[in-house]
């Protein structure tokens, strides 16, 4: 592999690229100001993240007119992004592409996204679970974790099945005795993690369910059920309401945003929080159902505050 093809730079190469002395590069890396990782005592710098860091540093960030959001799906987030894009009238752009929690974090670590939406279990466990999940990804020392909202997570069901309870036998078999058709989420999605944990609490396994389809977003789960291609699947109250479906609540979960520190101060991200805290944002959340916005915008965790070897 030639030097130009190597995805990592050493201290000397970064010093030459930035026209700084190596002592300054060590300082920037230690302070968490420059994307870097320490392996066996040596600093390595991902070439693409360093180039992205340079672009972001120019004139307070040449990409401040756009915000690319990935990660977990949510109807309120999607509806809000559409409204904010209309308000910008072409002066700036919010991009939103749903990938699921884990793939979203990987895209963030590669510098291909600015913000990743995540949810990974019950709200009361999120203060431990979310940072633990984040620390498994390269570049986390430059990230912050911010609360967007809490939401009701559970099982989306057909409207005619609204009488169902959480009893495993009811959820696995219909009145005719036929197996209910389940729609799953892809691996790495927070909703699939939720489903596995709930099933374990019911002493059930995924393999015991009649899996009929795989969906790649909250709303695709609801859409498949609404089109009678499935009977039941994991999702949120807001996704069920959007399609006029039934819903069995199981737990409340935290829906948080992960973003690099420099993006955290970007005006477009601040406008997202401001909108949710405004009268139109609160009304939108109430109309979709199942949201709690009391902690919206709260800084929960900083990667640079974590103790490192």
The helix or strand, by DSSP H or E, that contains position 25, with its residue range, turns out to be helix 22-30
Burial class of residue 109 (count of CB atoms within 10 Å of its CB; 0-12, 13-18, 19+): buried
By the 8 A CB rule, do 196 and 166 touch? no
List the Cα angle 226/228/231 in 5-degree steps: 90
Distance CA 228, CA 303 (A): 44
**Predicted TM-score (pTM) of this structure:** 0.80
Buried b / exposed e across 200-222, counting CB within 10 Å, b at 16+?
A: eeeeeeeeebeebebbebbbbbb
Tens of pLDDT, residue by residue, the chain (309 residues):
566 678 889 999 999 888 888 988 888 888 777 888 888 888 998 888 887 777 666 544 445 688 999 999 999 999 999 999 999 988 899 999 999 999 999 999 988 899 999 999 999 999 999 999 999 998 898 899 999 999 999 999 999 988 887 776 777 665 444 688 999 999 999 999 999 999 998 888 888 889 989 999 999 999 999 999 999 999 999 999 999 999 999 999 999 999 998 889 888 999 999 999 999 999 999 999 999 999 999 999 999 876 554
Nearby residues of 282 by Cβ (< 8 Å), 6 or more positions away: 276, 293
Residue labelled with tokens 């009977």: 231
Distance CA 139, CA 144 (A): 11
Distance CA 102, CA 116 (A): 9
């Amino acid at each position: 592999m030639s030097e130009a093809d190597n995805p990592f730079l050493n201290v000397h190469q970064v010093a030459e690229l930035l026209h700084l002395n190596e002592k300054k590069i060590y300082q920037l890396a230690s302070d968490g100001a420059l994307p870097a990782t320490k392996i066996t005592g040596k600093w390595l710098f991902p070439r693409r993240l360093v180039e992205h860091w340079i672009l972001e540093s120019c004139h307070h960030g040449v990409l401040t007119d756009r915000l690319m959001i990935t990660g977990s799906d949510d109807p309120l987030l999607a509806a809000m992004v559409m409204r904010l894009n209309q308000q910008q009238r072409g002066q700036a752009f919010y991009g939103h592409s749903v990938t699921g929690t884990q793939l979203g974090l990987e895209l963030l670590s590669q510098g291909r996204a600015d913000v990743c939406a995540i949810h990974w279990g019950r709200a009361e466990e999120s203060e431990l679970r979310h940072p633990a999940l984040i620390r498994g990804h390269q570049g986390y020392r430059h990230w912050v974790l911010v609360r967007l909202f809490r939401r009701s997570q559970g099982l989306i069901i057909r409207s005619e099945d609204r009488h169902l309870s959480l009893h495993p036998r009811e959820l696995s078999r219909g009145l005719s005795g036929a197996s209910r058709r389940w729609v799953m989420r892809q691996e790495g999605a927070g909703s699939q993690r939720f489903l596995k944990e709930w099933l374990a609490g019911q002493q059930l396994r995924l393999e015991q369910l009649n899996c009929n389809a795989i969906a790649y977003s909250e709303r695709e789960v609801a859409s498949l059920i609404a089109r009678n291609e499935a009977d039941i699947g994991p999702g949120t109250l807001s996704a069920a309401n959007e399609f006029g479906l039934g819903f069995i609540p199981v737990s409340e979960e935290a829906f948080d945003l992960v973003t690099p520190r420099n993006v955290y101060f970007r005006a477009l991200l601040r406008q997202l929080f401001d909108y949710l805290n405004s009268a139109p944002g609160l009304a939108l959340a109430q109309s979709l159902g199942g949201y709690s916005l009391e902690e919206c915008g709260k800084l929960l965790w900083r990667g640079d505050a974590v103790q490192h070897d």
